[in-house]
Structure 1
Amino acid sequence: MARKERGGSVGTPATVALGNAGIAYAVRAYEHDPAAESFGLEAAEALGVEPGRVLKTLLVDTGAGLAVGVVPVDRTLDLKAMASALGVKKVAMADPAAAERSSGYVVGGISPIGQKRALQTVVDSSAHEHETVLVSGGRRGLDLELSPSDLVAVTRAKTGPIAR
């Protein structure tokens, strides 16, 4: 990554966490359209990035708590594969209000980085096909670009084939 952005007007828990970890990243902001049907596909189009490089953050309920799945925006989370990656029988998508309370972010702007509560995280293995990926920076209209290995490191994630 060419440079590290810090603080200023884009300070979010995600940028603070990356700064504290010494991880290089680039801020990629765009004008969010409230009428957009897919926040992730909107980001990919607005930033001129192939959708497979833009990752969405989805929270699931394991029955014993929440966990985080990170998959490309042009794919869906395979719940059976996610459960298997977590070592549980099944998972269901988390209630949006529970996801917001747990992460400290709003739906459509949930970042896998700097969440209020550290949760078990799984990043789809396809992320490693790219030199850099983009994830939400903690609010709609703000993405952060970083290497997949840095994303995995800062979120203490495991990787696996969880997208379909």
Structure 2
Amino acid sequence: MTKKTRGTVFLEKASIEFTVHPYEYDAKAQAAGLQAAEALNQPPEIVYKTLMAEVDGKPVCAVVQVHHEISMKKLAAAAGGKSAHMIKPADAERMTGYHVGGISPFGQKKRVPVIFDEAAFSAEKIFINGGQRGVLVALNPEEARRVVDGKIAAISDS
């Protein structure tokens, strides 16, 4: 494994089986998640981005495929709320302890509810940010959900 992150340490402590996949992060890429999938030669259907949002004023972490957008209406409903919006990047960084482009659902500074798009559970393994720009981890989606006590819902625009 390459450099450890708070996310990979979190997974190790939880005895979750995963592999680390470093890649050359391009800060100028229009879509960082798609750039990561391409850099790792992985189909976008199994590469997931981590987005921080607020539902009725409460933070939520959403995990969706890199080639899809999140539906704020579906996210709000999945979290039991009425409205949702993205958290400002600086606030997301302060809350998670990660830099934008390196936010992971694992090992966040402040634990918040995590909602995985249901599409993740049709794959044997998915790639998710490991807690640093240029580092993805590959793991079983059910293990990813279990380790953060996440919820499964249809939250993408697809």
Indicate which of 61, 67, 86 corresponds to 1:68.
61
Secondary structure of 2:129 counterpart: strand
Q: TM-score, normalised by structure 2?
A: 0.96
In the alignment, the residues of structure 1 paired with residue 74 and residue 55 of structure 2 have an alpha-carbon distance, to the nearest angstrom, of 13
In the alignment, the residues of structure 2 paired with residue 30 and residue 64 of structure 1 have an alpha-carbon distance, to the nearest angstrom, of 35
Deviation at 1:93, TM superposition (A): 0.6
In the alignment, the residues of structure 1 paired with residue 61 and residue 26 of structure 2 have an alpha-carbon distance, to the nearest angstrom, of 25
1:143 matched to 2:136: yes
Name 2:76's counterpart in structure 1.
83
1:56 matched to 2:69: no
Give unmatched runs, 5+ long, in structure 1: none
Secondary structure of 1:10 counterpart: coil
Give unmatched runs, 5+ long, in structure 2: none
Name 1:15's counterpart in structure 2.
8
Secondary structure of 1:14 counterpart: helix
In the alignment, the residues of structure 1 paired with residue 90 and residue 58 of structure 2 have an alpha-carbon distance, to the nearest angstrom, of 14
How is 1:42-53 mapped onto 2 (pairs within 5 angstroms)? Answer: 42-53=35-46
Name 1:158's counterpart in structure 2.
151
Which 4+ stretches in 1 moved above 3 angstroms? none
Q: TM-score, normalised by structure 1?
A: 0.93
- Please list the CA deviations of residues 32-62 of structure 1 after superposition, one character each: whole Å capped at 9, or x if unmatched: 1222111100110010100010100011112
* Equivalent residues of 1:57, 1:111 under 8 A apart: yes
- Please list the CA deviations of residues 53-84 of structure 1 after superposition, one character each: whole Å capped at 9, or x if unmatched: 01000111123321111000000001000000
In the alignment, the residues of structure 2 paired with residue 69 and residue 76 of structure 1 have an alpha-carbon distance, to the nearest angstrom, of 11
Indicate which of 123, 129, 150 corresponds to 1:130.
123
RMSD over aligned Cα atoms: 0.9
* Equivalent residues of 1:39, 1:140 under 8 A apart: no
How many positions carry a matched residue from both structures?
A: 157
Name 1:24's counterpart in structure 2.
17
